[in-house]
Chains A and B, each alone.
Chain A
Amino acid sequence: MRDAITVRDLTRRFGDFTAVDAVSFAVRAGEIFGFLGPNGAGKTTTIRMLTGLLAPSSGSATVAGLDVGTRADAVREVIGYMSQKFSLYGDLTVAENIELFAGLYGVTGARYDDRRAWVLAMAGLEDRTDRLTAELPLGWKQRLALGCAVLHEPAVLFLDEPTSGVDPLARRRFWDLIDGLSERGTTVLVSTHYMEEAEYCHRLALMNRGRLIALDSPSGLRGSLASAGSLRGSSDVGDMGDVGVRSSLEDVFVELVRREGGAVVG
């Protein structure tokens, strides 16, 4: 399968500070790819470069075959973006938000009717089109935000901590939707520091201090560290296989960051 995202020696400097330091990886089409790291690890800067919002200092990256350095405008047309800080307007209704984003993405005519119906069905909001967005429970808002981000059927979807703060049931419903998108070929790149979200990814890239320090499947990451016997403080993991995966994945995360000399504070 063709790679939907390729990143080669991608670097971004701000003055003396190197936010992203020669990062290379590739994401397969239809893959759910997790991007982990503490605050200041360089996740956001990397995503800004991949979404064409920030020019790389050196190195290169392509998204859906388009070079982000030279074709940033074209890149923005084939991607969708959903942030934890919702870009939805709380004082607009569900239907008005969809209409607004359809307008912004140039989804019109019969395609608009199709996509609108699809988004409402996907988010389970068919009988709530006239509700003010601000009044929706968090889980519904997140599904609506996702719907608005994929109105134009983007090839690559960027998610920034999409389900932080919601309960396990709402989270599972959300990720069922994401999996459905992935199954139909949408590539999904998730940036998060929640292990609950990392669980749902096919592969995880761990960043710290601007560098990529690990890249593997969740079970691969857990296995590599468990076999090295370096797991600490994971009392509730035990040897029950996948039980307590949340804790153990977090242990992996914390351990790898510590080995690298800790996170950047500030």
Chain B
Amino acid sequence: MREVGEKKVPKFFLYIFLTFASIISIFPFYWMFVIGSNTNSEVNKIPPALLPGPNFVENMQKVFERIDFFGSLLNSFIISTTITIAVLFFCSLAGFAFAKIDFKYKNFFFIFLLATMMVPPQLGLIPSFMIISALGWVDQLQAVIVPGMVNAFGVFFMRQYIASSIPNDLMEAAKIDGCGNFRIYWNIVVPAIKPAFATLGIITYMNSWNDFLWPLVVLKDKSSHTIQIALRTLNDAYTTDYPMILAGTFLATIPILIVFLIFNKQFIAGITEGAVKS
């Protein structure tokens, strides 16, 4: 890390450091594929298998037999995409308001918003289920989508980002030109915070993709299962077929990988365009 500063240290070491960090980060993902492509007995050998085996397709077939893999993948896709779009819009709007618009009790509302993040979620399951049940949303995707459409985390993140990256002068100028607040948001703020959109987008997408605590309470019918819930049902009560579970998990990770690459492209586009100059 000290390498960064000392001018004499060749970039070579930087790359070594990054490569090392990357290997540590990727290894469990790789190992997931290793186990997912072997049999239980292969996995139980000492030293453990470190290379992919020949059983991936076989394990995948077991997964397909037991769960509606693509159906639940589609549900996850619908949920995550809708949530992400809604979150990006609502959170950036609210973040903009908190960062750049003055209104009464703003601090109170903001503190309140922060405080909501500090509530431990586990005990909310029963009362939240009562609400969903009263709305008649059990086994319907909106039971997961609607509560997730805007979150304190996103608002907070957008507020911090907008506060640090959009100069006030720019706002003043637009105001003098007669722009309304929404026009300022749409024409000035949105284009300037692309990196924030990419970041919040990937984080939101991934969170809702991997979430299971809440979905499993409200989505019980097989037709409404998300991929994470479906994958959990691969776990039998008395025995665990790790290769099958990890093969399924591996395959279910590929879609978010693709989503990441899409956002990543946006992200890099954001870099080259450069930030707003003051």
**Bound together:** no
